[in-house]
């Protein structure tokens, strides 16, 4: 998962980043609100850990900005400001959770995973894809009560595309989400194509899957129209 850490206290930001990287997250850092605003507009993050007290910005404005621009990212507020109003305001305008400083890194991780479970609908009802059904709880792909054998990574790929249905996801976005680190060359980019190709082959043994679309030059999309 892709996380942006917005925190002007550099040592804390770095500490959080090195912890989350060890947990398999891909982390970006922003020490100012302006930098954060630009990064949120350009990159696709799953989470933003947001310190409200920034030198150049009221952190709450970053949430408002993202919501206004329809950017689908989860905010977890981390702040020393214990004021109840800030917390309420933050949750009111769409923050997903709130963690007062100081906090244990393990607790931060637990909060992220709790939000992720809601966001990625882990344990939620099944997702229908054409004639297939994703059993999210059982992490299985079904075709009329029979299990379609796909790998865990293929399931994750399909799941991530399904959650973001009707949006085109670039290869690097898929790669970063599933494998948790950045793409660095053409070889890695082909890697996603190979996974999609294998997946299509497995699906086509059961039924056509026109909903899994290749968007030339960009990436892949699950379309809910077909």
Binding footprint of Ca ion on the chain (CB under 5 A): 8, 51, 53
Alpha helices in the chain (DSSP H): 10-22, 33-42, 59-68, 84-92, 105-119, 152-163, 171-179, 186-204
| Nearer residue to Ca ion within complex by CB, 74 or 79 | 79
Rounded to a whole number of angstroms, the minimum distance from the CB of residue 8 to Ca ion is 5
Length of the chain: 226
| Nearer residue to Ca ion within complex by CB, 8 or 156 | 8
Rounded to a whole number of angstroms, the minimum distance from the CB of residue 32 to Ca ion is 10
Rounded to a whole number of angstroms, the minimum distance from the CB of residue 23 to Ca ion is 23
CA 84 to chain centre: 28
For residue 29, what is the enclosing H or E element?
strand 26-30
Count of Cβ atoms closer than 10 Å to residue 17 Cβ: 18
| Nearer residue to Ca ion within complex by CB, 53 or 130 | 53
| Nearer residue to Ca ion within complex by CB, 58 or 204 | 58
Rounded to a whole number of angstroms, the minimum distance from the CB of residue 55 to Ca ion is 8
| Nearer residue to Ca ion within complex by CB, 39 or 81 | 81
Rounded to a whole number of angstroms, the minimum distance from the CB of residue 103 to Ca ion is 14
8 Cβ contact partners less than 8 Å away, ≥ 6 residues apart: 31, 32, 51, 53, 54, 55
CA 112 to chain centre: 11
| Nearer residue to Ca ion within complex by CB, 47 or 57 | 57
Count of Cβ atoms closer than 10 Å to residue 149 Cβ: 10
Rounded to a whole number of angstroms, the minimum distance from the CB of residue 80 to Ca ion is 7
Distances (CA, A) of 126 to 8, 34, 121, 195: 41, 40, 9, 23
């Amino acid at each position: 998962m892709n996380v942006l850490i917005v925190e002007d206290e550099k040592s804390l930001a770095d500490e959080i980043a090195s912890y989350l990287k060890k947990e398999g997250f891909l982390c970006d850092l922003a020490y100012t609100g302006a930098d954060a605003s630009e990064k949120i507009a350009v990159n696709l993050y799953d989470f933003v850990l947001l310190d409200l007290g920034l030198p150049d910005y009221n952190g709450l404005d970053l949430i408002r900005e993202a919501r206004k621009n329809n950017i689908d990212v989860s905010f977890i507020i981390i702040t020393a400001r214990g004021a109840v109003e800030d917390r309420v305001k933050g949750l009111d305008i769409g923050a997903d959770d709130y963690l007062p400083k100081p906090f244990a890194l393990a607790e931060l991780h637990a909060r992220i995973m709790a939000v992720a479970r809601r966001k990625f609908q882990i344990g939620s009802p099944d997702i229908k894809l054409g004639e297939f059904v994703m059993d999210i709880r059982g992490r299985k792909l079904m075709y009329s009560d029979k299990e379609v054998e796909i790998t865990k990574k293929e399931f994750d790929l399909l799941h991530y595309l399904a959650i973001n249905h009707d949006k085109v996801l670039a290869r690097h976005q898929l790669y970063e989400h599933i494998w948790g680190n950045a793409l660095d060359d053409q070889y890695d980019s082909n890697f996603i194509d190979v996974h999609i190709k294998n997946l299509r082959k497995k699906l086509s043994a059961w039924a056509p899957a026109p909903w899994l679309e290749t968007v030339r030059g960009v990436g892949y999309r699950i379309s809910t129209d077909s």
